Structure 1
Amino acid sequence: MAVTFSDLHTADGLKALEAHLAGKTYVSGDAISKDDIKVFAAVPSKPGAESPNAARWYETVSAAVASRFPGKAIGVNLPGAGSAPAAAAPAAEAAKDDDDDLDLFGDETEEDKKAAEERVAAKASTKKKESGKSSVLLDVKPWDDETDMKKLEEAVRSVQMEGLTWGASKLVPVGYGIKKMTVMMTIVDDLVSVDSLIEDYLTVEPINEYVQSCDIVAFNKI
């Protein structure tokens, strides 16, 4: 059953989307679907900090659409990126494109899956395989309530490597005046190991001056 919302150009429409996505990764089901693409196309830009669930979902779907349609403008507005281009065209194309090698956003029958796999296998010898990508939501915890969270974020984002792209972040109260930082990142699976990123970079000197521990909250293939 298709999931719909009122006008997503309005504050009420975004509030409804934010409430719907509480505790969910996608609009409907456990995997990205055409419902996500249709809703994504109707959202004019990435929701702000007042809608953390919708913002996280928006980045996840945006990354999936960008992966499916490389080189096309996708409406994600990451920190410091300025105004984002419109997302409607590529998102709409993703929603209606039923003839591509893999329909990532539709509900496929077993026959559809088999036919898609056969088409991919037939082209494997001439089409270069691209590395898979994943969208990761990370919890970064400070030592105590006296930790400078601005410096903590700067230290985390100072880690730069091929295949790693930092996304939006926010501070979340955990009690006793302590806040943790949740941060989105996109990784190229063949180039970046999240476990190694945490163990070899985020929890060692000099970053461990601010970071006590890191936990993976969500890990989704794109």
Structure 2
Amino acid sequence: MTSFDVSLESGLKKLDEYLLSRSYITGYHASKDDLTVHTSLVKPPPSDFVNVSRWYNHIEALLRICGVSGEGCGVTIEGSAPASKEAITTPPVADNKASAVEEDDDDDVDLFGEETEEEKKAAEERAASVKASGKKKESGKSSVLLDVKPWDDETDMKKLEEAVRSVQMEGLLWGASHLIPVGYGIKKLQIMMTIVDDLVSVDSLIEEHLTVEPISEYVQSCDIAAFNKI
């Protein structure tokens, strides 16, 4: 079981070294272990801890976009009580001021909980209204996190990212990205994208666009790191 004491600078340094060659606390996908450590940080880590800051910002982005559902392998935080089940499974709520319109919108959608009876009724009424007006129901969307690996440490990662983002098609929207060290001076590109399910197939996107010439000049392989319905 992995253990950290993030209340001390020495603990943050240990975590920073641990994340040098890792994207997540345990495993290859975001899990409840990441939420446990994320929750124990009372504020964003100092920028001096490059790897911790990169990991922290990535988990923040996942929580805003699609949440974290992986079980994890187990992690403990020294000097603090074990996180409750509710604290681990429920993403933290951002402490931001919102306008009255934004607050009304937030009341309509519960991103991480189950639908209430009122929400179900409202959804049924909207569906009936769309059907009555002859409008086509909007396709579902998914949030996808891609790991894009270069050929070697001499690959220009800026050009690699430009090549990836040059792929444009209906139903595809590129999002935030960052570089993650994987060892021996090599870094991989981790990039978020949002797709319309009926218009974009991730497997086809990778096979027919991201791993063929001229992009294959920079990209050795491209894998799905996380896939979540929106």
Tell me whether the two structures share a fold, i.e. TM-score over 0.5. Answer: yes
Name the CA distance, whole Å, in 1 between partners of 2:57 and 2:115: 31
Q: Do the aligned residues in 2 keep the contact of 1:138 with 1:215 (CA within 8 Å)?
A: yes
Name the CA distance, whole Å, in 2 between partners of 1:215 and 1:87: 37
After the TM superposition, which residues 82-161 of structure 1 pair with which residues of structure 2 at under 5 Å, given as runs?
Answer: 88-89=98-99, 91-97=102-108, 105-108=112-115, 115=121, 118-119=124-125, 122-123=128-129, 124-126=131-133, 128=135, 129-161=137-169
Q: Do the aligned residues in 2 keep the contact of 1:141 with 1:214 (CA within 8 Å)?
A: yes
Matched, 1:191 2:199: yes
Q: Do the aligned residues in 2 keep the contact of 1:95 with 1:105 (CA within 8 Å)?
A: no
Q: What is the SS of the residue equivalent to 1:125?
A: helix
Deviation >6 Å, runs of 4+: 111-114
Q: Deviations over 1:134-155 (max 9, x none)?
A: 1111100111111111111111
Matched, 1:52 2:64: no
Q: Deviations over 1:85-138 (max 9, x none)?
A: x882355223323xxxx76554346x6687567545533333621121111111
> What is the aligned residue count?
153
Name the CA distance, whole Å, in 2 between partners of 1:87 and 1:208: 44
Name the CA distance, whole Å, in 1 between partners of 2:171 and 2:128: 28
Change (3 A) 1:221 1:113: same
Name the CA distance, whole Å, in 1 between partners of 2:213 and 2:188: 19
Name the CA distance, whole Å, in 2 between partners of 1:56 and 1:87: 20
Ranked by relative contact order (alpha carbons within 8 Å, sequence separation 6 or more), the top structure is: 2
Matched, 1:163 2:171: yes
Q: Do the aligned residues in 2 keep the contact of 1:94 with 1:105 (CA within 8 Å)?
A: no
Greater Cα radius of gyration, structure 1 or 2? 2
TM-score (norm 2): 0.56
Change (3 A) 1:202 1:179: same
- Give the equivalent residue in structure 1 for 2:21: none
Name the CA distance, whole Å, in 1 between partners of 2:142 and 2:228: 5
Q: What is the SS of the residue equivalent to 1:180?
A: strand
TM superposition shift of 1:221: 1.3
TM-score (norm 1): 0.57
Name the CA distance, whole Å, in 1 between partners of 2:162 and 2:186: 18
Name the CA distance, whole Å, in 2 between partners of 1:218 and 1:91: 28
Name the CA distance, whole Å, in 2 between partners of 1:189 and 1:59: 16
Q: In the alignment, residue 194 of structure 1 is paired with which amino acid? A: V
Matched, 1:200 2:208: yes
Change (3 A) 1:212 1:59: same
Query: Which ranges of structure 1 fall in alignment gaps of 5 or more residues?
Result: 1-20, 29-47, 62-85
2:225 to 210, 217, 220: 217
